[in-house]
Every structure is written in C-alpha cells, then in structure tokens.
Chain A
Amino acid sequence: GAVVSQHPSWVICKSGTSVKIECRSLDFQATTMFWYRQFPKQSLMLMATSNEGSKATYEQGVEKDKFLINHASLTLSTLTVTSAHPEDSSFYICSARDMDRGAEAFFGQGTRLTVV
C-alpha cells in the first residue's frame, strides 16, 4: 500500500531551539497533507492542513508563527517547531490521503518530540 514516511521518529531538543519534522509520501502525490498532535492519553487533534504551493491552514488555537509548515512539493511537507518549549513536547503525526486509492488516509510513523 501507499507509504507516508516521517522523520525523525524521535527527537530531544533544548528549550529555545527549533526542530524540523519531515513528512513524505513515497508512492503517491499529495497536494494536501495534515499534521496532527497527540498529548498523552488524548486522541489525535488536527493542527494544520498543509497545501502544496500555498499557505497552510491552521486550526484554531495553533500558532502559525510557532509551527511553520512548508509544502514545497507534491511529496514533501515539513513542520518546524520554532523556539520549542517543554509544553510543545508531544507526539506529532502527519497524514496524506491517496485519492487514487479510495481516499484512504495514510499516516507517518509519528515523531516523539521531547523539549528539555
């Protein structure tokens, strides 16, 4: 089946630094990708919708200047957590839907971010 690859799978960074997470669709083109965040014992919540060649759409309450999204190609979207703080520690997952395969949603492996 279709594959979405997400890197890194885990990262530890110091407060104040920035972290970039990559999300690639390996065998299909994704004009739209989605970024989700999951805090402990909670369900996945959408952060933003990444659109190829245009600005991302952020959900209410998500700071667009803190979570920078770039979708420069049909197979790559990146999420950069800028000036990370401990409260940004979370599990981040990207997703893309393959409209040629019944609109099935495929997910990256997730990135566990720990800010110390």
Chain B
Amino acid sequence: KQEVTQIPAALSVPEGENLVLNCSFTDSAIYNLQWFRQDPGKGLTSLLLIQSSQREQTSGRLNASLDKSSGRSTLYIAASQPGDSATYLCAVPPGGYQKVTFGTGTKLQVIP
C-alpha cells in the first residue's frame, strides 16, 4: 500500500525566502507525481507534474524534482510571496486507472 508523507506539516517564512517542501513515498512504482496547492475551502490547483521518467519540472518560481529510487520529491519555491500561502499536496498515481494517493500536506504561510 502506497504511503505518502510530507514534511514539514506546517511552515511559516518571511516574504522573499526560498523554501523547500518534501514529499516521500513508499512504493516507487509510480506513474508520475503531481504537486497541488489548495487554498482554504477551495479545490485543488495543479502546479507541476513530473513523469516517472523525468527528474525535474519547472514552472515560474516553482521547481519540482523527483528521485524515484529513493522515493522522494521536493518542491522548491523561489522568492516566496504572501500569495503562495496555501496547503501544498503531493500526489502519486500508480499505473493504469488507479486512484491517486495524497500526501499529508504542508501548510505554508508566507508573512509579508
């Protein structure tokens, strides 16, 4: 059974700092890995998707890496802004039409 853990559970940083969110998964037989953000009371916004054959994906100030063999992914946020405040979830879909397993989430607060 896939288990996905995110560390830290919560993070508070001053505006402008660079930060790293971590995601660990127990079963390396993944199809891809996705990072989402969730604002309070809202749905999920997809940030980045890394295919299992890839090592890295970048979108603007966001950079996600994937090390499948060690079961780890990191989300790097450069020059954080108050608008980045949200809960960040990593999600791991296995092959086929199977369900996505979500991480426990990291609640980020960027202080102006």
Q: Which residues of B contact A32 (CB under 8 A)?
A: 97
User: Told that A43-B89, A97-B97 touch, could you supply 6 new A-B pairs with CB distance under 8 A?
Assistant: A93-B44, A102-B32, A103-B32, A104-B46, A105-B100, A106-B46
Contact B31 A103 (CB under 8 A): yes
Q: Which residues of A contact B46 (CB under 8 A)?
A: 1, 104-107
9 contacts between A and B (CB under 8 A): A44-B102, A49-B99, A97-B97, A102-B51, A105-B46, A105-B91, A105-B93, A110-B43, A110-B44
Residue positions of B touching A, CB distance < 8 A = 31-32, 34, 36, 41-44, 46, 49, 51, 89, 91, 93, 95, 97, 99-100, 102-105
Contact A91 B93 (CB under 8 A): no
> What is the interface size of chain A, counting residues whose CB is below 8 A from a CB of the partner?
26
A46 within 8 A of B: yes
Q: Which residues of A contact B32 (CB under 8 A)?
A: 102-104
Q: Which residues of A contact B103 (CB under 8 A)?
A: 43
Contact A110 B42 (CB under 8 A): yes
A109 within 8 A of B: yes
Q: Which residues of A contact B99 (CB under 8 A)?
A: 34, 46, 49
Q: Which residues of A contact B102 (CB under 8 A)?
A: 36, 43-45
Q: Which residue of A lies closest to B104 (CB)?
A: A43
Residue positions of A touching B, CB distance < 8 A = 1, 6, 31-32, 34, 36, 43-46, 49, 91, 93, 95, 97, 99, 102-110, 112
How far does the alpha carbon of A105 sit from the alpha carbon of B91 in the complex, in Å? 9
Q: Which residue of B lies closest to A44 (CB)?
A: B102
Contact A104 B49 (CB under 8 A): yes
How far does the alpha carbon of A49 sit from the alpha carbon of B98 in the complex, in Å? 9
Chain A's nearest CB lies how many Å from the CB of B38?
Answer: 9
Cβ-neighbour of A95 out of B42, B49, B95, B100 (below 8 A): B100
Cβ-neighbour of B105 out of A43, A99, A103 (below 8 A): A43
